[in-house]
Amino acid sequence: MHSEAENKMAEPVFGPAGTPDDFPGGSTEKMPGWLASIGLSAFEYQCGRGVRVGEETARSIGRKALENDIFLSLHAPYYINLANPDAARQEKNVQYVISTVRAADAMGASRVVVHSGTLLKRARGEALKTAMAALKTILRRCDGAGFGHISLCPETMGKTGQLGTLEEVLSLCQLDERLIPCVDFGHLYARSFGAAEGPEAFLEILDTIERALGVKRAKRIHVHFSKIAYTKKGGELRHLTFDDPEYGPEFLPLASLMAARDYCPVFICESAGTQSRDALRMKEIYFAERKRSYEPFSSDCPVP
Ligand SMILES: [Zn+2]
């Protein structure tokens, strides 16, 4: 069962992660109205350093989002590590996720992004096993607490020492059909030292998701997108803006493929400071590509 926001989503939505530099200021409650005024349709509320939003504020943000037709998601605390085998630590993870889904519920948000975790020097297979068991427990506890309508989104991670290759995230998502992968294309690019970029790599990524989860779920994935600098040593270094000339990935080839396949993702831009402006660029690119792929008589797409 999905929430109302998920059910009515027939179009891809676009928005920033957190507060962009050009937000004219004031409280987060003003964010939905501002985003709508500049043409955006999604917002990812950051609880990266902890869930500090009170229930009243959460409800107020939710009301503003509803009024302005802004799709809301939340990012759970960064320090959650599903792959940590320590029992006390795992119980803490459960509490962190439950407090995030509780805030999400108050906001009327339907998706919560969760980092897969770090390896802690363990073998990838072992770490994945731990994370799968931990996620199962978290799902059971979220259901028990009455938050089963909120989708958890395990995220692909940018550092090579982290759990969260595409395949690992898809394995996690196979545990329950409500799980939605958060495919961070900047992270996949950084952890592959720049290889995961361009039409061929993106095609392979989409095909892999479709094979693992089916076409229907693939079309509704949660997307994080930004350019990211990396080192050959460990992958992700830092988030950049779309104007960065050196690093990738570029959004156009991905938009082109997704538009042709009629994908309907939540697109969250994670550029450093320019995430609202770059989200708008993503929206323009995506709809231009979709128009192109729906245009049977255009010169570069002749009808046989
Ligand atoms: Zn993240």
Question: Region 29-47: what's the mean pLDDT?
Answer: 97
Per-residue confidence (pLDDT) for residue 3, from 0 to 100? 59
- Which residues fall inside 5 Å of ion ligand 1, going by CB? 155
- Report if residue 303 sits inside a domain: no
Is residue 105 in a domain? Answer: yes
Q: So what's the pLDDT on residue 2?
A: 54
Alpha carbon of 189 to ligand 1 centroid (Å): 14
Domain containing 237 equals: 4-293
**Dihedral, CA atoms, 52, 56, 57, 63, nearest 10 degrees?**
140
Task: Tally Cβ neighbours within 10 Å of residue 273.
Answer: 16
In a domain, 300, yes or no: no
pLDDT digits (tens, 9 = 90+) for 9-21: 678 999 999 999 9
Ligand 1 centre from 17 Cα, in Å?
9
Q: Residue 238: its pLDDT value, please? A: 96
| Residues 6+ away with beta carbon under 8 Å from 198 | 249, 250, 253
pLDDT at 167: 98
How far does residue 298's CA lie from ligand 1's centre (Å)?
39
Whole-number Å distance, alpha carbon 296 to ligand 1 midpoint, is 38
| Any domain includes 299 | no
Percent of the chain whose predicted confidence (pLDDT) is above 90:
91
Q: Please, which residues have CB within 8 angstroms of residue 40's CB and are 6 or more apart in sequence?
A: 14, 15, 16, 70, 276, 279, 280, 283
Centroid of ligand 1 to alpha carbon of 155 (angstroms): 6
Tell me the average pLDDT of the chain. Answer: 94
* Residue at 304 is within a domain: no
Give the dihedral of Cα atoms 25, 29, 32, 38; nearest 10 deg: -20
Its pTM stands at 0.94
Q: What is the pLDDT of residues 250-274, one digit of tens each?
A: 999 999 999 999 999 999 999 999 9
pLDDT confidence tier of residue 304, bands split at 50, 70 and 90: very low
Distance 33 CA to ligand 1 centre (A): 24
Provide the number of structural domains found in the chain: 1
State the distance from the centre of ligand 1 to the C-alpha of 78, rounded, in angstroms: 7
Using the mean position of ligand 1's atoms as its centre, give its distance from the Cα of residue 2 in Å: 22
Considering the domain boundaries, does residue 302 fall inside one? no
- CATH code assigned at 131: 3.20.20.150
Residue 298 included in any domain: no
Q: Tell me, in angstroms, the distance from the centre of ligand 1 to residue 113's CA.
A: 7
Mean pLDDT on 81-103: 96
For ligand 1, the distance from its centroid to the CA atom of residue 45, given in whole angstroms, is: 11
pLDDT band with cut points at 50, 70 and 90 for residue 26: confident
Q: Quick one: pLDDT at residue 282?
A: 98
Q: Is it the case that residue 1 has pLDDT exceeding 60?
A: no
Helix (H, G, I), strand (E, B) or coil at 162: strand
In contact, 117 and 83? CB cutoff 8 Å: yes
pLDDT (tens digit per residue) in 150-191 = 999 999 999 999 999 999 999 999 999 999 999 999 999 999
CA of 11 from ligand 1 middle (Å) equals 23
Considering the domain boundaries, does residue 164 fall inside one?
Answer: yes
